[in-house]
Structure formats: C-alpha cells, structure tokens
C-alpha cells in the first residue's frame, strides 16, 4: 500500500515512486498493476487523487546464486532444472529473475527462454542497451547454443533432423505442445553421440540447434525414436502426460514411466560476440547425472508412441 500526497497523473506517480522511466511506468499501469479503490487503472494519463493506492510490482528475492560469469554488461547463470526463467503469474514464489535482479537491479533481464525443466546456461543483461543487443543477437543467430541430453536407447552415429515444427492448438488427443508438420516453421538440429551407457541403455548426446523453436530438441529426438529421458510429454502416454500437466503424476511414477524424475536436457555452451568473442561452458558434470536415470529393467518407457 502506498500513500499519494496530492493529485497526480498515474504514470508520473509511478515514475517518481520507483525511479522508473516513462516507458516502464506506462507498462506497469497498462498491465493493471496500479489499483485505486480496489480497481486497476489501465490509462497511464489517469489522474489519481490523494489517498491510498496499491501497486503490484516485482520485488526480487534471490537465494544467493552468483553468476557463473559476468561483465559490466551481462551475466551468465547456471539455471537449475525445475526453475522458471520468468514468473508466469504474480503468485510465482521464485524464478531466475529473482537472482538476476538481486545481482543487477530492476533493469536487468533474461535475454532468452529455457524450459522450466531444462537446466544450464542462462544469459542475462545488466541494462536495457545490453538487453536489446543480446535479444537481437539471438534473433539474427549471432549467439550459438549447445545442449547435452541423455536419451533412451543406443545412438551410434551423428545425424541431423531438419523438419518444420508447428504449435499444437488441440490437446484433446495429444499433450505434445508442438509437432512436426510441413506447414510449421523451419527447424534444424545436429546431434552427436558422446557416450553409451550399456547398463542404462541410454546415450549422452550433444545437441546443436541452428533454429530456436519451442521444444525443438525434444520433438526432434522423439521423432527419431530416442526421446529424452525424463520427458513427461514426448514419449509417454496421453494419460501420463495429462496427469503430469495436472500435477497428479508422482515422482516415482514419472521415474518409471519416463526414465527420470527430471527432463535430462542441459544447456551446455553459449558462444557469442560482445566486443570480445565469448565461449562459456557449463561447470555441471552432466555425464555424471546418469545416476538420475531409472535402471533399464525398471523402465516402462514406450519409444514406439
């Protein structure tokens, strides 16, 4: 709750109270986060009278995670599996944005997406100029990413998948967020097998996407019958996927039905220019994470779906 001392335009009050730019102030108001007399104000030019108002704003609460690497312009974090990059609702208790803004303030931001269940490198800007540059660099493919994945079965040779991906609109018969379709957007991923674990019947694969479509690596590996272990959507049954999305699938059920309690996908490297040329590699030993995979004899994973 905040106290307005005298009548003032809504956007000016937000600017003065939070030291925001006019654009930041207008965005906050247009999202309905300024509340007067119990109702959201959406017009930045609205005059608000003296009295009490409510303002919903993001106050970071980091857990003390330091960046893996940083400069005066950007920083790189090791994102854990199970953590969102940005809060998806005002009730989200914690996300990587908490760490990013705890380190570098309100103008810092993540510059790309990583699925909640994917772990690994997350590139964040420290100010708006850097954010604009890095987001544009992702758009024009100046930034290269690689991933590691533990997949079901034995992969012996390098290969690639060059098949378009389309967002699914109807989830009544399938819970996959995307699917391969000729009307979709172009998507290309190169894959190199690194190590086969005979006891687990699982292969560690390096993944090099040249495009950045939603769930691209997941759906491409599912297509070649080597789904990523722990994937609750691609490679499991409709019922299991639905129960996961409803929050009803237990950890033990997921362990047996998908091969792991988390998605076994890790963002391993980032390579990009920013004045100098940077190549940043994750310090996580993802090969050692094979210990998180369900033993072969206990898995009921169905790669033929």
Residues tagged active-site: 115
φ and ψ of 273, to 5 deg: -95, 140
Cα–Cα nearest to 135, from 225, 51, 212: 212
β 144-152/265-274 pair status: antiparallel
SS3 category, 145: strand
**Residue tagged 């769930």 (tokens):** 215
Q: How far apart (Å, rounded) are the C-alpha atoms in residues 213 and 184?
A: 10
Q: How far apart (Å, rounded) are the C-alpha atoms in residues 224 and 228?
A: 11
Q: How far apart (Å, rounded) are the C-alpha atoms in residues 61 and 297?
A: 43
The CA R_g of the chain, rounded to the nearest whole Å, is 22
Which helix (H) or strand (E) segment holds residue 122: the answer is: strand 119-125
Cα–Cα nearest to 10, from 22, 174, 291: 22
Q: Are 68 and 80 in contact (CB under 8 A)?
A: no
Q: How far apart (Å, rounded) are the C-alpha atoms in residues 293 and 279?
A: 29
Query: In DSSP terms, which residues pair with 152 in a beta bridge?
Result: 202
Q: What does the angle CA 168 – CA 171 – CA 176 come to, to the nearest 5 degrees? A: 60
In sign, the C-alpha dihedral spanning 163, 88, 227, 168 is: negative
Q: How far apart (Å, rounded) are the C-alpha atoms in residues 81 and 40?
A: 35
């Amino acid at each position: 709750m905040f106290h307005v001392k005298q009548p003032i335009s809504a956007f000016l009050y937000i600017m003065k109270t939070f030291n925001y730019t006019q654009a930041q102030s207008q965005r906050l108001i247009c999202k309905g986060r300024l509340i007067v007399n119990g109702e959201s104000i959406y017009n930045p030019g609205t005059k608000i009278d003296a009295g009490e108002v409510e303002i919903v704003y993001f106050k970071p609460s980091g857990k003390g995670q330091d960046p893996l690497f940083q400069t005066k312009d950007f920083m790189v974090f090791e994102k854990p599996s199970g953590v969102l990059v940005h809060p998806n609702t005002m009730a989200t208790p914690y996300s990587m944005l908490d760490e990013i803004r705890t380190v570098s303030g309100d103008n810092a931001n993540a510059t790309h997406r990583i699925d909640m269940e994917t772990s690994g490198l997350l590139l964040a800007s420290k100010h708006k100029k850097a954010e604009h540059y890095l987001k544009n660099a992702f758009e024009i493919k100046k930034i290269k990413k690689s991933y590691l994945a533990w997949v079901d079965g034995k992969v012996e040779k390098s290969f690639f998948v060059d098949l378009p991906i389309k967002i699914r609109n109807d989830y009544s018969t399938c819970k996959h967020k995307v699917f391969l379709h000729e009307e979709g957007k172009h998507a290309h991923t190169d894959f190199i097998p690194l190590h086969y674990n005979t006891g687990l019947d699982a292969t560690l694969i390096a993944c090099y996407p040249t495009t950045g479509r939603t769930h691209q690596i997941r759906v491409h590996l599912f297509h070649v019958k080597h789904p990523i272990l722990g994937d609750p959507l691609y490679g499991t049954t409709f019922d299991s996927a639905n129960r996961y999305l409803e929050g009803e699938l237990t950890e033990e059920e997921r362990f047996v039905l998908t091969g792991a309690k988390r998605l076994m996908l890790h963002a391993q490297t980032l390579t990009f220019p920013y004045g100098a040329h940077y190549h940043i590699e994750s310090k996580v030993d993802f090969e050692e994470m094979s210990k998180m995979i369900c033993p072969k004899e206990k898995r009921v994973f169905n790669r033929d779906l």
